[in-house]
Structure 1
Amino acid sequence: MKKMNEQTVSSKTKYSIIALALFAFSGILSETSMNVTFPKLEEVFNVPLASIQWVTTAYLLAVSIVMPTSSYLYRRFRERPLFFAALLFFTVGDIVGMLSVNFSMLIVARLIQGVGTGIAVPLMFNIILARVPRSHVGAWMGLGGMIMSIAPAIGPTYGGLLIGNLGWRAIFAFILIVPVISFILGAKSIENSEKKSPAQLDFIAFVLMSLMLVSLLLTLNSLTAVHFEWAWLIVFVVSLVAFIYRALHSDKEFLDIRVFKNTAFTLSVIAYAIFQFSNIGANMIIPNFLQLSVGLTSALAGLSLLPGTLVGALSNHSIGSLYDNKGPKIGFWAGNSLYVLSLLLFVIFSKNLGLISVILIYILFTLGRSMGFLTSNTHGVTQVSREEQGSANAVFQTAQQFAASAGTVISSLIVTKTGNMMQGTQNVFILFLVLGLLNFVLFSRILSKQK
């Protein structure tokens, strides 16, 4: 591969980034578009909401397990094989999902899809960091993030329109268009690096972390059962202790957890996870609430999230510039204040909400969440050394995906235990409100530790 001019971005690099951003877009679209299908899937497969939510949770779990391996994969394998492997996983999973004849088959499909997305998203950012001149990195990170951020904006609307007119299988069918476009762009543009450094994956640490994440979600999920599964809790505790020991003593490559010694970084990750937990939980609960309690169609329920998510996506660049110019204080305090205010409104008026009121409050929710979310991520990564930033990014990516899985599980658990969709929705937002108030404490501590 020819050496890149220090101040220019080659056409192939541009198309490579766009190809991977489109792929990531299809992965996130697949995640968010399924949330609005839960009532229909409950009827089709005759399973309760507590089980149906695994359509999203299984997908996010697979992504969260694969993402920590991104540093190893990028050092061990060249870019084109990684790109084609990601496409293969996602496409196979999508086709299996479309053809699913039972609930178990659909869950397997979602796991396969998640592996593809878990490979593709970090690959896009690695290519940007490796091939884009430093003076242009921010712009291209912003472009990639912008394309990805549009997916949650249209996902529920896309899913709602299709399930209302063509059925839930059409969601999988039409998503395939995007990976095909990504394949055409990527096959022509993605180039291999001249050399890859040999890297040895700490497979034991990988297995322990995977077991830890899966057992934790199964522990949470067992709260819906008649008898709590103590065995899964024991497995989680044992695997957590074993993973920490292994990560601290192994000389093989996986995830350097020593970054957690930095208090500001650790608190930033917690705040970041809280925002994602609430965000995905709200994205799951609101469309279902509007269908089951308010009586709206799936198309209108999905549309309720579109304006707010578009506002959040389009504000990303401005939020980043605000951090560059003013530091983290405005993003922390103003963002979390808007976020908490929106949750307070959801709690107070949950029994009187309609489509318009949900749209307006969700715009406030998403704007505040985006400010706090992006500021926590950016500030957290800058608190560690440059050598530790690769592991720091991997921690944030994993926390994002796992918090999303937990948000879906806990939200559906609360609704299931409440036994009433309207009251259950109010209880979910009460939980989110408490977590939002906790963020004020976290931000105060973070700023006291600021470099």
Structure 2
Amino acid sequence: MVLNSNENNFSLNKNNTKKILVVLLIGGFISMLNETALNIAFPNIMLQYNISAGTVQWLTTIYVLVSGIVFLISAFLIQRFSTRKLFISSMVFLIIGTIVSGISTNFPVLFTGRLIQAIGTGILVPLIFNTVLILIPREKRGLVMGLVSLVVLSAPMFAPVLMGFLMGFMDWHWFFLMVLVFFVATSILGLSSLRNITKITHPKLDILSVILAAVGFTGIITGFSGLGDYGLSLNVTIPLIIGLVSLIIFTIRQLIVENPLLDLHVFKYPFFTIGIIINVINVMVVFAIVILLPMYLQNALGTTALIASLVILPGSILNCFLPLLSGHIYDKHGTRIVISSGLALMCISMIFFSHLSASTTLITVLIINCSLYIGSALLMSPNQTNTLGNLDSKYYASGSAIMTALQQIGGAIGSSLFVSFMTFSQQNYLQNIINPNSTQQISALISGVNFSFTIGAVILGFVFVLSLFLKRGTPQT
């Protein structure tokens, strides 16, 4: 149960409120920083651990998948446990996961550390948003929520840049030592500043629904991630079938049980369904970019991790701050013009990305990347506002949980699926070449990246057409 700020049975002055929010935001920023930081180091990790692109992408995929599944049960956790317990638990998971990742000497250990970190992030991020709803008066909530979104969403964008900078001077393992210091410091600050601000109830958790959702999404992502290496073999089809069947049973169960994990009746609103599709595709494409582009820049163009991160940086900055402008455009001109324009710009950018070569200049890549991120920034905030803000109030909790969870899981699907497209095309290019030389290996990589981006352009084109049917939802009563 979330308390209204006017119903709190305790008083917090402005300084205490600021301390609580600052502590949570620091923790949230650093936890989300971990989500994509390793992407820029993937070429190095592949060499160090002798693994394929399809395997290394799981370091990001498992993070967003597990945190997304935890998001699904965030409402239960917030109602069942106190603010301090949840915060301390999240920090314990993040600290242990960071230590394991930092001392890892092989892929399984690093993978395990990432999984543990993701649990902490899945607990912490929903706690931040819930705390804002409780502590901040309604008339000031919009500004603070915008600030929170900016802090939380900017971290995954800047993480590869920070990692690239660090790798110019030291091994990628040292990144985890740096964030470990912040996690420990944040934990100490939290113990002295945080207060319990929610009313504890004893809700029931539908364990079977959680298991079905976890098995369903894991099966689908596992199947997609193996598509490039194994084709439509049993290694791919069995996980896909298990995943689809689990999600079908999960959906049926949510519609018939008395207290569902998620109220799926929310999909009866067309603006919500279309909005969720747009949001998921947007995240899928962005995650594909932040994984494939560093591989292309470092392995095909021969740049260092630092240079690759600097090429990506301007687009990341635009993606963080432009949503403030796009929200204003949405208020003035409505839904379709800003969302459809963003999708069109993303689609055009992906078409240009699908024609990369070994002679493409860094400035060209930078400009195309900025264009794509401008398109993403244009649609992201207005689409979320239109999708959630016009729901019947009884669907707020489920609608928000569905969007945040699918946003994370969409990133996991995007990572695995687009890397599989790249791997499939890469292997197809090399299948008739015996002992390919370095030039042919680079050509195969570029072919794979271009094919993956071509698929992305086609998907964005379809979603653009879908967005033309989008109307500003009528606020429900």
Aligned to 2:124: 120
Aligned to 1:442: 466
Deviation beyond 3 Å, 4+ runs, structure 1: 1-5, 348-352, 448-451
CA pair 195-151 structure 1, distance change in 2 beyond 3 A:
closer
Give the distance between the partners of 1:440 and 1:319, measured in 2 at CA: 17
Aligned to 2:450: 426
Instruction: Report SS of the residue matched to 1:315.
Output: helix
Check the 8 A contact 1:160/1:300 in 2, yes or no. yes
Give the distance between the partners of 2:325 and 2:473, measured in 1 at CA: 25
Please, which runs of 5 or more residues in structure 2 have no aligned partner?
427-443
Aligned to 1:214: 218
Check the 8 A contact 1:72/1:253 in 2, yes or no. no
Check the 8 A contact 1:4/1:10 in 2, yes or no. no
Once the two structures are superposed, residues 190-239 of structure 1 have per-residue CA deviations (whole angstroms, 9 ceiling, x without a partner) of 21126222211111101110010111111112322263333212211321
Give the distance between the partners of 1:376 and 1:65, measured in 2 at CA: 22
Give the distance between the partners of 1:357 and 1:267, measured in 2 at CA: 33
Letter in 2 for 1:40: N
TM-score, scaled relative to structure 1: 0.94
292-301 or 242-251: bigger deviation: 242-251
Once the two structures are superposed, residues 70-115 of structure 1 have per-residue CA deviations (whole angstroms, 9 ceiling, x without a partner) of 1111111111100110111111001000111221111111110000
Give the distance between the partners of 1:200 and 1:258, measured in 2 at CA: 20
Letter in 2 for 1:374: S
Please, which runs of 5 or more residues in structure 1 have no aligned partner?
none
Check the 8 A contact 1:288/1:301 in 2, yes or no. no
Once the two structures are superposed, residues 13-33 of structure 1 have per-residue CA deviations (whole angstroms, 9 ceiling, x without a partner) of 222222222222112211221
2:399 to 392, 395, 407: 392
CA pair 194-267 structure 1, distance change in 2 beyond 3 A:
closer
Q: Give, in angstroms, the shift of residue 355 of structure 1.
A: 1.9
Q: Give, in angstroms, the shift of residue 384 of structure 1.
A: 1.6
Give the distance between the partners of 1:448 and 1:131, measured in 2 at CA: 30
Letter in 1 for 2:223: T
Q: Give, in angstroms, the shift of residue 4 of structure 1.
A: 6.7
The answer on 1:276 being equivalent to 2:300 is no
Aligned to 2:77: 73
Letter in 2 for 1:210: A
420-429 or 266-275: bigger deviation: 420-429
Give the distance between the partners of 2:372 and 2:390, measured in 1 at CA: 27
Give the distance between the partners of 1:350 and 1:309, measured in 2 at CA: 23
Once the two structures are superposed, residues 286-337 of structure 1 have per-residue CA deviations (whole angstroms, 9 ceiling, x without a partner) of 1110001001011111221111111111122222233233332332122222
1:128-139 paired onto structure 2 within 5 Å: 128-139=132-143
CA pair 182-317 structure 1, distance change in 2 beyond 3 A:
farther
Q: Give, in angstroms, the shift of residue 450 of structure 1.
A: 5.8
1:344 to 351, 362, 366: 351
What's the RMSD between the two structures over aligned residues? 2.2
1:294 to 293, 301, 316: 301
Give the distance between the partners of 1:195 and 1:376, measured in 2 at CA: 32
Aligned to 1:173: 177
Give the distance between the partners of 2:61 and 2:157, measured in 1 at CA: 19
Check the 8 A contact 2:335/2:472 in 1, yes or no. no
Instruction: Report SS of the residue matched to 1:34.
Output: helix
Check the 8 A contact 1:162/1:171 in 2, yes or no. yes
Aligned to 1:152: 156
Check the 8 A contact 1:146/1:314 in 2, yes or no. yes
1:55-66 paired onto structure 2 within 5 Å: 55-66=59-70
Check the 8 A contact 1:24/1:148 in 2, yes or no. yes
323-332 or 306-315: bigger deviation: 323-332
Instruction: Report SS of the residue matched to 1:447.
Output: coil
CA pair 194-145 structure 1, distance change in 2 beyond 3 A:
closer
Give the distance between the partners of 2:71 and 2:82, measured in 1 at CA: 17
65-74 or 254-263: bigger deviation: 254-263
Once the two structures are superposed, residues 386-418 of structure 1 have per-residue CA deviations (whole angstroms, 9 ceiling, x without a partner) of 110111111111111111111111121122112
Letter in 1 for 2:27: F
160-169 or 307-316: bigger deviation: 160-169
Letter in 2 for 1:85: S
CA pair 91-446 structure 1, distance change in 2 beyond 3 A:
same
Q: Give, in angstroms, the shift of residue 245 of structure 1.
A: 1.9
The answer on 1:409 being equivalent to 2:433 is no
Check the 8 A contact 2:91/2:183 in 1, yes or no. yes
Give the distance between the partners of 1:2 and 1:378, measured in 2 at CA: 24
The answer on 1:110 being equivalent to 2:114 is yes
Q: Give, in angstroms, the shift of residue 449 of structure 1.
A: 6.5
Aligned to 2:311: 304
1:189 to 159, 176, 193: 193
Give the distance between the partners of 1:426 and 1:234, measured in 2 at CA: 29
Instruction: Report SS of the residue matched to 1:445.
Output: coil
Aligned residues: 451
Identity rate, percent: 29
Check the 8 A contact 1:153/1:307 in 2, yes or no. no
Once the two structures are superposed, residues 344-378 of structure 1 have per-residue CA deviations (whole angstroms, 9 ceiling, x without a partner) of 22224555422221112111111111111222211
